[in-house]
C-alpha cells in the first residue's frame, strides 16, 4: 500500500474514535520528541524516515510529517542527503502538548496503529514461505491464499506484491508466482551481491554513525558472545543491527533499494538459526560483526568495509552448510496455497 494511502486510512481510524484522538503523525511526533528529550535518541545522532518507521511500526508518510513538525519545534534539523540531525540541547526543550494528550507518552515497542489488512496476515505468510524454501521451490496460489486466511483477493495480491518486493517471490515464464529454493547457487549469488553493495553503503554510512550507537551495538554483541546459548530471534536482531540499521544511515535511497533484494536472505536467518543451533560451537558471525564495529569506532572506514566484505563471503558458505543440514534432517508439509515444485 503506498505511503500516502496508508496515512489516510490510519488517520481516519484514529479520528473515528473521538474528536480529540491524535492523528498518527501527531502521536509519532510526540513519541519521537520524548525519546529525544530522555536521551534514547541522542543529540548529534541522525534520524532517517526508514529507521523511525521500522522502530514505530508505521509507514514513512506519518514519520515524514512528524519530522517536519519536530524541525519546527527546534528538536531536529534536516541535513541534505542524511535525514535529520538531533539538535544539542533538545533534552531540555519544552514539550509541545498534542490534542487530547493528558500526559507524557510511553512506548512499549508495539506498533502505533492498527495494521492495514494485508499487514495483518503478511508476517505469517512470509514465515510459512521462508520456512519452506530451504527444502524446495514453492508455487504460491493467490486465490487459495485469500481463501485460507479469509481475506479478499486484493489483500492477497498486496501480500504477494510485498513478498516480491522483499525478493522472496518471483514470476515464472507463465506469470505464476513462486518462491525459489535456497540452492547453493542462489545463496552464493545473493551473498556475492551483498559483498559488493553493503561495503559501499557502510562507507557512506560511517560518517553519520554516532559513536553511542556503535557502542550499543558492540555491547549487544559482547553480551551475546558471553551468553553462549543465544536464541534465533536475538541473532536475527544482531544481524539487523549491522546490515539494516547501520547501513540505512548511508542516506542513499537508490543504493539501499538495490541492497534490499540480496538482503532477502536475512529474513530466512531466524529459521536457519533455529534449526541449526549446534552446527557451530559458537555463532561465528558475532566476532566478525565486532571487528567491523571496532574499525568504525577507530575511524578506520576502509578496514571496516573490507571486514564487512570478508564477513559476507564467509557467511555465504556458512548459509549453504545450514541449508544442507536442514534438507537432510527436516521436511516441510504443503499448505493449501503453497505447492511444492519438483527439483530441477
Q: What is the model's pLDDT at position 295?
A: 98
Q: What is the model's pLDDT at position 8?
A: 31
Taken as a whole, the chain contains a residue count of 344
Q: What is the model's pLDDT at position 90?
A: 55
Weakest mean pLDDT among 91-100, 174-183, 232-241: 91-100
Helices and strands of the chain, counted as H and E runs: 14, 7
Whole-prediction pTM: 0.58
Please name every residue paired with 179 in a beta bridge, in sequence order, or none if there are none: 138
Q: How far apart are CA 141 and CA 139, in angstroms?
A: 6
pLDDT above 80 (res 69): yes
Contact 337, 149 (CB under 8 A): no
In terms of pLDDT, which residue wins out, 251 or 330?
251
Percent of the chain with pLDDT over 90: 29
In this prediction, residue 337 has a pLDDT band, given cuts at 50, 70 and 90, of very high
pLDDT above 80 (res 75): yes
Contact 91, 37 (CB under 8 A): yes
pLDDT above 80 (res 39): no
- At residue 280's C-alpha, the angle toward residues 275 and 281, to 5°, is 120
Q: Does domain 117-181 have CATH number 1.20.120.450?
A: no
Nearest CA-CA partner of 239 in 183, 311, 320, 187? 311
Query: Which cell is 263 given?
Result: 538482503
Q: How far apart are CA 292 and CA 315, in angstroms?
A: 14
* Mean pLDDT score, 136-155: 91
- At residue 193's C-alpha, the angle toward residues 189 and 195, to 5°, is 115
Weakest mean pLDDT among 165-169, 240-244, 253-257, 269-273: 269-273
User: What are the two backbone dihedrals, phi and then psi, of residue 78, each rounded to the nearest 5 degrees?
Assistant: -70, 135
The radius of gyration of the chain's CA atoms, rounded to the nearest angstrom, is 21
| CATH 1.10.10.10 boundaries in the chain | 20-92, 117-181
pLDDT above 50 (res 10): no
Q: What is the model's pLDDT at position 307?
A: 98
Three-state DSSP class for residue 7: helix
* Mean pLDDT score, 152-181: 89
In this prediction, residue 171 has a pLDDT band, given cuts at 50, 70 and 90, of very high
Nearest CA-CA partner of 61 in 4, 141, 126? 4
* Mean pLDDT score, 193-198: 94
Please give the CATH architecture assigned to the domain spanning 20-92: Orthogonal Bundle (1.10)
Q: What is the model's pLDDT at position 272?
A: 64
Q: How far apart are CA 147 and CA 134, in angstroms?
A: 25
Q: What is the model's pLDDT at position 304?
A: 98
Q: What is the model's pLDDT at position 213?
A: 94
Weakest mean pLDDT among 18-32, 59-73, 102-116, 242-256: 102-116
Nearest CA-CA partner of 63 in 18, 7, 114, 12? 7
pLDDT above 80 (res 198): yes
Q: Does domain 184-329 have CATH number 1.20.120.530?
A: yes
Q: How far apart are CA 324 and CA 313, in angstroms?
A: 17
Q: Which residues contact 89 (CB under 8 A, 6 or more apart)?
A: 43
In terms of pLDDT, which residue wins out, 275 or 96?
275
In terms of pLDDT, which residue wins out, 1 or 340?
340
Q: What is the model's pLDDT at position 176?
A: 94
In this prediction, residue 74 has a pLDDT band, given cuts at 50, 70 and 90, of confident
Q: How far apart are CA 268 and CA 275, in angstroms?
A: 11
The Cα diameter of the chain in Å comes to: 64
Amino acid at each position: 500500500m503506498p505511503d500516502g494511502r496508508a496515512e489516510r486510512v490510519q488517520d481516519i481510524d484514529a479520528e473515528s474514535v473521538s474528536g480529540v484522538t491524535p492523528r498518527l503523525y501527531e502521536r509519532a511526533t510526540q513519541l519521537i520528541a520524548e525519546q529525544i528529550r530522555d536521551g534514547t535518541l541522542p543529540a548529534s545522532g541522525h534520524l532517517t524516515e526508514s529507521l523511525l518507521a521500522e522502530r514505530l511500526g508505521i509507514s514513512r508518510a506519518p514519520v515524514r510529517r512528524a519530522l517536519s513538525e519536530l524541525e519546527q519545534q527546534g528538536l531536529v534539523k534536516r541535513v541534505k542527503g542524511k535525514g535529520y540531525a538531533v539538535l544539542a540541547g533538545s533534552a531540555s526543550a519544552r514539550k509541545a502538548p498534542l490534542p487530547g494528550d493528558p500526559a507524557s507518552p510511553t512506548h512499549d515497542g508495539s506498533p502505533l496503529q492498527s495494521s492495514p489488512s494485508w499487514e495483518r496476515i503478511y508476517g505469517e505468510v512470509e514465515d510459512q514461505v521462508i520456512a519452506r524454501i530451504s527444502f524446495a521451490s514453492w508455487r504460491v496460489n493467490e486465490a487459495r491464499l485469500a481463501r485460507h486466511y479469509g481475506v479478499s483477493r486484493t489483500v492477497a495480491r498486496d501480500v504477494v506484491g510485498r513478498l516480491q518486493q522483499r525478493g522472496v517471490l518471483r514470476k515464472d515464464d507463465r506469470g505464476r508466482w513462486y518462491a525459489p529454493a535456497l540452492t547453493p547457487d542462489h545463496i552464493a549469488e545473493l551473498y556475492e551481491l551483498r559483498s559488493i553493495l553493503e561495503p559501499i553503503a557502510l562507507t557512506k554510512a560511517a560518517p553519520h554513525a554516532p559513536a553511542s550507537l556503535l557502542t550499543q551495538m558492540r555491547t549487544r554483541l559482547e553480551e551475546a558472545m558471553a551468553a553462549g546459548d543465544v536464541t534465533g530471534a536475538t541473532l536475527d536482531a544482531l544481524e539487523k543491527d549491522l546490515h539494516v540499521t547501520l547501513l540505512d544511515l548511508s542516506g542513499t535511497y537508490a543504493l539501499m533499494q538495490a541492497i534490499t533484494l540480496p538482503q532477502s536472505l536475512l529474513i530466512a536467518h531466524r529459521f536457519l538459526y533455529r534449526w541449526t543451533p549446534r552446527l557451530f560451537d559458537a555463532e561465528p558471525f558475532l566476532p566478525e560483526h565486532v571487528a567491523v564495529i571496532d574499525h568504525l569506532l577507530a575511524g578506520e572506514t576502509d578496514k571496516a568495509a573490507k571486514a564487512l566484505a570478508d564477513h559476507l563471503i564467509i557467511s555465504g558458505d556458512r548459509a549453504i552448510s545450514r541449508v544442507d543440514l536442514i534438507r537432510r534432517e527436516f521436511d516441510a508439509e504443503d499448505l493449501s496455497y503453497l505447492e511444492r515444485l519438483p527439483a530441477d
